Amino acid sequence: MIDDAHMILEKIDDQVYIKIPTNMQGLAAIKQLESEGIHVTATAIYSEFQGYLAIAAGADYLAPYYNRMVNMNVDSDLVIKHLAAQIQRDQSNTKILAASFHTVQQINSSFIMGAQAVTMGPELLETALSSPAISAAVAGFKTDWEQLYEANTLDV
């Protein structure tokens, strides 16, 4: 993992955040890479304990897998809430980058529970931003503009 991280940094960019799985070997790699000043995201987090260990190892980001935890009957919200509380107690600079979502509500819950960032597929972003209420509001803005300024319209 260490050699792969160095190769990625050399060939891509030295500011890339290296994804390291949160297992025994991964925790050692996180600690080593962080000691070298390399940015690390601790991935494949399914429990508070994994997250606590990644925080202690110095990970920049924790990536708890929200929907995968749901599928394992793990309370994803509680895991994220507990990780956020531990980060605050430790006054750590670690942040939570929640991942693996099936619904927009899961994304919202992650933020409510303390995640600072999320990663999602484009289909969820499209779902979140394609509400009929949004389309109606945009149409209303356009109508209001046209009533005030007639032919000087904006194409939205």
- Give residues with Cβ within 8 angstroms of 99, minimum separation 6: 43, 63, 64, 65, 66, 118, 119
pLDDT of 105:
97
**CA 143 – CA 123 distance, rounded (Å):** 29
Residue pLDDT, tens place only, 65-101: 999 999 999 999 999 999 999 999 999 999 999 999 9
Q: Which residues of the chain form beta strands (DSSP E)?
A: 18-21, 40-45, 61-64, 95-98, 117-118
Active site residues: 19
2-120 folds as TIM Barrel (3.20.20)
Residue pLDDT, tens place only, 14-24: 899 999 999 99
pLDDT of 53:
99
DSSP state of 100: -
Ranges of each domain in the chain: 2-120, 121-156
pTM of this structure = 0.86
Q: Is the pLDDT of residue 104 over 80?
A: yes
Strand order across the beta sheet in which 40-45 lies: 18-21, 40-45, 61-64, 95-98, 117-118
Give the residue with greater pLDDT, 8 vs 149. Answer: 8
